[in-house]
Structure 1
Amino acid sequence: MSSDQKKAAEELIAKFEINQNGRRIALLGSIDEKQGILIAERTAFATESLQTLQAFHAAITRVNNLGDNDIYRWYLASSVTDNGSQHQPDLKLNIIWPCTEQHIKKYSDQILRMVTETPNIYHQYIRPYMSAKREEGRLNWVFNILEGRTEQEDVILRDAGHGPEDAFLMLPDLNWDRKTMGSLHLLALVQRRDIWSLRDLKKRHIPWLRYLQQRVLEATVNVYPDLEQDQLKLYVHYQPTYYHFHIHVVNVMLEAGTTQATGKAFGLENIISQLETIAGDEEAGMADVSLTYFLGEASELWTDLYALLKQGQEPKLNL
C-alpha cells in the first residue's frame, strides 16, 4: 500500500465511532496450588470523546489493504502499545463508505425484538420488501464477484456443478482476517438469482442443497487442511443482510455473537431436514411455514411492519 493509500485509509477509519463485542481468552493456571481459570475479555472501545478517537487513530500503524468491492473495504493493521512498541497485525478494520441508512440502523446499538413471520406476512409484506431492496442496487458487490469484476484473487473455489443452476463460488468473508483458523469465516455465493433467501427453498431443491453442502465442506478442508469437516458449521441468515442466497461457513469454535444466535442463523442441515418433512408436492417449501427471528428496533421491518401489527395498525412499509 502506498503512503497516500495508507493515509486515505487512516483518515476514513478515524471518522468512525467504534462498537465491538468483546473477545475472550481463558487461561488455565493455579492459585495456592489449586487450579483455576482466568477469563479475560476486551472491553468495548471507548468513544466518548474526540480525544479518544484521535488517540485510537494515532495508535493505528501498518495499515494493509486486504481488498475492496463497491462500498466495502477491509484492512489489517497494527496498534501501538503505551510504551510505543508495535503489535503484529492485531486489528481487522472494515469500512463501509459511503454507507446507507440501512447500514447505520444495522450497526446502531438497539433493543432487539423477537417476531414471527407467518406465510401470510411473508407473501403480503416481506416478499415485496425484498423485491424493493434488490432493486436499490444493494447487490452490486455480489454481482461484481459472481461476474468476475472484483475479488477474483480471493475466490477459493468455483464449482460449475451439473449446470448453471448448480454453480456457486466460495471466498473469505470480509470479517475474517484470512489466517486465524479458529475464526475461519467463508461465504458460498450461488450463481442462480431466483433464490433470494431461505424462503425460496422448496422440496425440489433438496438434492441441490445436499450437493452444495457436500461440495462446500470438501472444498473448505481441501483449502485449509488443518480443519476437518466436523469442525465446520454451515448456516444461512434470516433476515439476511442482502437478498441473494448465500451460505456462511465458519469454524465451530468461532464466537460471533448475535450473527450466529438463535433467531438469526438457521443451520443448513436443519433447513434440509425441515424441507424433507414439509407435507406437499415438490413446490412446497419454506414459504409455507412460520419463521421466528429477531429484529432491532431501528430496523425498517420493525418500525414500519411488526411494531404496527403489534399495535393493531396498518403497516407502512415504503415499497
Structure 2
Amino acid sequence: MEDKSVAESLIPRFQIEKLLNQDQSDRRISLLGHIDGKQGILIAERAAFATESLEVVKKFHSSISQVRNLGDNDIYKWYMANSSPPSTNDTHSPPDLKINLIWPCTAQHIRKYSAQTVRMVTETPQIYKDYIHPYMQHRREEGRLNWVFNILEGRTEQEDVILRDKGTNPDEDGFLMLPDLNWDRKTISSMHLLALVERRDIWSLRDLKRKHIPWLKYLRQRILDATVKTYAGQIEADQLKIYVHYQPTYYHFHVHIVNVMLEAGSTQAVGKAFGLENIIGQLETIAGDDEAGMADVSLSYFLGEASELWSTVYEPLKKGKTPKV
C-alpha cells in the first residue's frame, strides 16, 4: 500500500486540463488532468450534509452566508447562498447552496418532507370517483392554490415568465411557462421549467379526456418550441422530457419540462411521473366517445405513509374499512 503522505501529495500536483462531466445535481465533477506528464482523472464529490445531531444541523444553519433571494410567491421563497462565511479576502465567492423556504408551512408540508415508508397503491376508477375526487375538491377549497393564481393573474413572478400563450381559444388553450422554483435558472443540465394552464376545469391528469387530445398536442409542441427558442444553442427538443405528476402536489393542471439528463430521484420515478406523450397515446387508444378519458382507467402510483391520501383513503381500504374523506 502506498504511503498516505505520498498519495495525498498527488491532489495538489494535479494539473487540470478540462472538465469531463458534471452531474445534474452539481454534487460531482470529473476532471481530466495530468501529474508528472501522465494523464489522470480526478472525480470530486461534495460530502453529504452532516446530520448526526441537532446541534450539528444548527451549526450548519448558522454558517449560511451571502443569502440572495431569487424570488417568492405566497408562502414559497427560494435563494442562493454560501455554506460557509466568506474569508476576509473573498467576500464574493460563488454560491454553493440552493435554498427553498416554505413559510408559514402546513401540517401537510411537514408530512411531505418527512422521511417515511412508501407504498404502491392502485387507484381504480371507482376509488377515484368515490374518494379521490372529493379529496381533491376539499383541498382546492382550502385556498392552497393561491400561489398558482398569483402567477396566472399577473400578481407575482411575472419577470420570470418565459412564455404566455393564449392559444387558438384563450378560454381553453392558454398557458404560461416559467422556471420551477427548484432550478437555479442557469445550469442547463439541471433545467426544470413549469407550464401552468389557464383553464381551471382540469385539476389533474384524471380530468383529461379524448376531446383534449388536440389541445394536449398543441401544448406539447408550444412548450418544446418555446424552450428551444428561449435557450437557443443550449438545448434541443429531443433533450427535453415533459411529464405530469400523479398524485400532483397541487390540484391545478401543470406540466414539468426538464433536461432529459436531469436525475431528480423520486419526482421522476415510475409511480410518480407520467410522460405527456404517453398520456396522449393512452387517450388515443381509450375506447368510447370524446368524453371518455383518464378517469376511466386504473392508475398505480406510490404514496408515503405520512400522506393524507394514505391515512384517509388507502390505509382504511387495506384494512377493509370505508374511508372518510
Q: TM over 0.5: same fold?
A: yes
Q: Distance in 1 between matches of 2:85 and 2:66?
A: 14
Question: Given that residues 24 and 39 in structure 1 are in contact (C-alpha distance below 8 angstroms), is that contact kept between their aligned partners in structure 2?
Answer: no
Counterpart of 1:232 in structure 2 is 240
Residue range with higher mean Cα deviation, 40-49 or 88-97 = 40-49
Counterpart of 1:19 in structure 2 is none
Letter in 2 for 1:184: M
Q: Distance in 1 between matches of 2:87 and 2:154?
A: 46
Task: Give 1:193 deviation, angstroms.
Answer: 0.1
Q: Superposed, which structure 2 residues align to 1:137-286 within 5 Å?
A: 137-163=143-169, 164-225=171-232, 226-286=234-294
The reply to whether residue 125 of structure 1 matches residue 124 of structure 2 is no
Task: Give 1:202 deviation, angstroms.
Answer: 0.2
Q: Superposed, which structure 2 residues align to 1:64-143 within 5 Å?
A: 64-80=68-84, 87-143=93-149
Task: Give 1:28 deviation, angstroms.
Answer: 6.6
Task: Give 1:82 deviation, angstroms.
Answer: 10
Letter in 2 for 1:192: R
Larger Rg: 2
Letter in 2 for 1:235: Y
Question: Given that residues 232 and 252 in structure 1 are in contact (C-alpha distance below 8 angstroms), is that contact kept between their aligned partners in structure 2?
Answer: yes
Q: What is the SS of the residue equivalent to 1:248?
A: strand
Question: Given that residues 28 and 43 in structure 2 are in contact (C-alpha distance below 8 angstroms), is that contact kept between their aligned partners in structure 1?
Answer: yes
Q: Distance in 1 between matches of 2:215 and 2:43?
A: 43
Residue range with higher mean Cα deviation, 138-147 or 28-37 = 28-37
Q: Percent identity?
A: 71
Task: Give 1:315 deviation, angstroms.
Answer: 1.4
Q: Distance in 2 between matches of 1:169 and 1:270?
A: 22
Q: Distance in 2 between matches of 1:123 and 1:181?
A: 40
Letter in 2 for 1:269: E
**Among residues 271, 283, 296, which one is paired with 1:288 in the alignment?**
296
Residue range with higher mean Cα deviation, 81-90 or 306-315 = 81-90
Letter in 2 for 1:53: V
Change (3 A) 1:37 1:255: farther
Q: Deviations over 1:159-204 (max 9, x none)?
A: 0101220000000000000010000000000000000000000000
Task: Give 1:81 deviation, angstroms.
Answer: 7.4
Change (3 A) 1:219 1:34: same
Task: Give 1:150 deviation, angstroms.
Answer: 0.6
Q: Distance in 2 between matches of 1:288 and 1:229?
A: 31
TM value normalised by structure 1: 0.87
Gaps of 5+ in 2: 1-24
Task: Give 1:130 deviation, angstroms.
Answer: 0.2
Task: Give 1:128 deviation, angstroms.
Answer: 0.3
Task: Give 1:42 deviation, angstroms.
Answer: 4.1
Letter in 2 for 1:143: F
Q: Distance in 2 between matches of 1:151 and 1:82?
A: 30
Q: Distance in 2 between matches of 1:316 and 1:165?
A: 34
Counterpart of 1:56 in structure 2 is 60
Q: Distance in 2 between matches of 1:97 and 1:153?
A: 22
TM value normalised by structure 2: 0.85
Q: Distance in 1 between matches of 2:97 and 2:317?
A: 42
Question: Given that residues 115 and 294 in structure 1 are in contact (C-alpha distance below 8 angstroms), is that contact kept between their aligned partners in structure 2?
Answer: yes
**Among residues 34, 47, 50, which one is paired with 2:51 in the alignment?**
47
Q: What is the SS of the residue equivalent to 1:73?
A: strand
Q: Distance in 2 between matches of 1:194 and 1:44?
A: 43
Task: Give 1:58 deviation, angstroms.
Answer: 3.2
Q: Distance in 2 between matches of 1:126 and 1:37?
A: 52
Aligned length: 297
Q: Distance in 2 between matches of 1:166 and 1:52?
A: 50
Q: Distance in 1 between matches of 2:261 and 2:45?
A: 16
Letter in 1 for 2:198: Q
Counterpart of 1:299 in structure 2 is 307
Question: Given that residues 28 and 35 in structure 1 are in contact (C-alpha distance below 8 angstroms), is that contact kept between their aligned partners in structure 2?
Answer: no
Residue range with higher mean Cα deviation, 77-86 or 248-257 = 77-86
